[in-house]
Amino acid sequence: MELKESLNWRYAVKKYTSDKVPQDKVNEILNATRLSASSAGIQPYKVVLVQNEEVRKKLQAASFNPQVTEASHLLVFAAYDKMKQQYIDDYMNLIAQERGVPAESLKPFRDRLQDNLLKLSDEEVFNWASRQAYIGLGTALVAAANLKVDSTPMEGFNSAEFDAILGLKEKGLRSVVILTLGYRDEENDFLAKQKKVRMPLNEFVIAV
Amino acid sequence: MELKESLNWRYAVKKYTSDKVPQDKVNEILNATRLSASSAGIQPYKVVLVQNEEVRKKLQAASFNPQVTEASHLLVFAAYDKMKQQYIDDYMNLIAQERGVPAESLKPFRDRLQDNLLKLSDEEVFNWASRQAYIGLGTALVAAANLKVDSTPMEGFNSAEFDAILGLKEKGLRSVVILTLGYRDEENDFLAKQKKVRMPLNEFVIAV
């Protein structure tokens, strides 16, 4: 599908069928998310793919939407809750390895990252990292729609409970947004046939 | 291009040629951004398309990257700095008009939005609205790459100065991220031929 068609086709599904999304499509969506842009390329977030049904039931109880268990797949986007020297070191090592360059050649980049990131408060890091996660979310939504896979991004959940159930704090992460994948139940989803509503372009864009 | 190819093709361009992106392609990118997902569909942000060269020069002086004036086009994503009853009213009127339904039928949705949004502090609104803008940014990056238009998302700028230069405060907006569009100068951009570095999928995704 063309991007514009994909964007018009997608909506936040309220009611899913019981059909499962094939694993290769889920992987394609995750991989597109992984490839998306991120500040300085550092990717300060992870995507939790929740497959354990018991865990999903617990998460369902900590959220306000039945899609958490009714959809085929559940992804939880979780952002770094603080910056650590280790993250920067790991990233520099990855770049050196992937590009086959000596680690010392990255010193100016490393210094700049350290200057910019290590001075931030935990809250500033989390806000910044959350925004990066939302670039990934935006990409995941397009990737899913391109594959004719339906999805629902959701902010209505108890993030502290999600973090506890998924053990995210110990991993230095905080949940920020969830995304379910599956197939719309067109007959039973009241939203399925409603017209997409978006601000007109001349209101959305301010020309200066 | 396939999405995966587009994502691999794109990178944050450091050096642009002087070629201009045709207006229809810029419009296509803006329109894709407009169609992207947003919490409850409310789109709490705007995109400023800066065409005035004098304004761009002033913004250049308030930013850390030469792309602000060197690229073909400059977009500034600006998020709501507070929630207002008027935004909810305008959105409800738009839905009623677009879907041809009476405004009263939207009362449950309106009540829920009001309950959720009007209680938030200005800072909470701005953080939430900024994340929505980043979904739009993620979509814009894909839309540009699909059209073989290069781009650079940038957080390195003085947002208070940008807001003053663009008169955003008076509009209830704060700048959060900027995006330039144009064409890479492959010969002179040190990043153009470097391998894209991303965390491996099995590190980016935590399977539970």
Here the tokens at position B66 are 């030469």
B137 touches chain A (CB under 8 A): yes
What's the pLDDT score for residue A1?
Answer: 63
Helices A122-146 and B122-146 meet at what angle, rounded to 10? 40
> Which residues are CB-neighbours of B119 under 8 A, at least 6 positions away?
none
Going by the DSSP 8-state scheme, the letter that residue A175 receives in this structure is E
Question: What is the percent of chain B with per-residue pLDDT over 70, rounded to a whole number?
Answer: 100
Mean pLDDT per block of 10 residues along chain B (208 residues) reads 92 98 98 97 97 97 96 98 96 96 94 96 97 98 97 97 98 98 96 94 97
- Distance from the Cα of B1 to chain A's closest Cα (Å) equals 10
The dihedral over CA atoms of A86, A179, B97, B112, expressed in degrees to the nearest 10, equals: -90
How many CB atoms within 10 Å of residue A140? Answer: 26
Of B36, B41, B204, the CB nearest to A43: B204
Q: Please choose, from the candidates B85, B92, B87, the residue with its C-alpha nearest in 3D space to the C-alpha of residue B107.
A: B92
Pick the residue of A5, A7, A47 with the most B CBs within 10 A to test the interface with B by mutation.
A7
B3 touches chain A (CB under 8 A): yes
Q: Indicate yes or no: CB of B142 within 8 angstroms of CB of A142.
A: yes
Taking one residue from A and the other from B, the number of pairs with CB-CB distance under 8 angstroms is 188
What's the pLDDT score for residue B82?
Answer: 97
- Distance from the Cα of A109 to chain B's closest Cα (Å) equals 13
Q: Indicate yes or no: CB of A30 within 8 angstroms of CB of B205.
A: yes
CB contacts, 8 Å: A110 with chain B: none
Helices B122-146 and B23-35 meet at what angle, rounded to 10? 130
Q: Indicate yes or no: CB of B49 within 8 angstroms of CB of A166.
A: no
What's the pLDDT score for residue A117?
Answer: 97
Q: Indicate yes or no: CB of A7 within 8 angstroms of CB of B51.
A: no
Q: Domain locations in chain B?
A: 3-83+120-204
pLDDT digits (tens, 9 = 90+) for B116-154: 999 999 999 999 999 999 999 999 999 999 999 999 999
- Distance from the Cα of B64 to chain A's closest Cα (Å) equals 13
Pick the residue of A34, A54, A117 with the most B CBs within 10 A to test the interface with B by mutation.
A34
- Fold (topology level) of A3-83+120-204: NADH Oxidase (3.40.109)
Here the tokens at position B20 are 């201009």
Q: In what order do the strands lie in the sheet with A205-207?
A: A205-207, B45-50, B73-80, B173-182, B150-154
Q: Which residues of B155-174 are buried (b: 16+ CB within 10 A; e: fewer)?
A: bebebeebbebbebeeebbb
Q: How far apart are CA B123 and CA B142, in angstroms?
A: 29
| 3-class SS string, chain B | CCHHHHHHHCCECCCECCCCCCHHHHHHHHHHHHHCCCHHHCCCEEEEEECCHHHHHHHHHCECCCHHHHCCEEEEEEEECCCCHHHHHHHHHHHHHHHCCCHHHHHHHHHHHHHHHCCCCHHHHHHHHHHHHHHHHHHHHHHHHHCCCEEEEECCECHHHHHHHHCCHHHCEEEEEEEEEECECCCCCCCCCCCCCCCCHHHHEEEC
CB contacts, 8 Å: B198 with chain A: 34-35, 41, 43
The reported pTM is 0.97
Helical H segments across chain A, by residue range: 3-9, 23-35, 53-61, 67-70, 85-99, 107-117, 122-146, 159-166, 201-204
B176 touches chain A (CB under 8 A): yes
Mean pLDDT per block of 10 residues along chain A (208 residues) reads 92 98 98 97 97 97 96 98 96 96 94 96 97 98 97 97 98 98 96 94 97
Taking CA–CA distances from B90, the nearest residue in chain A reads: A199
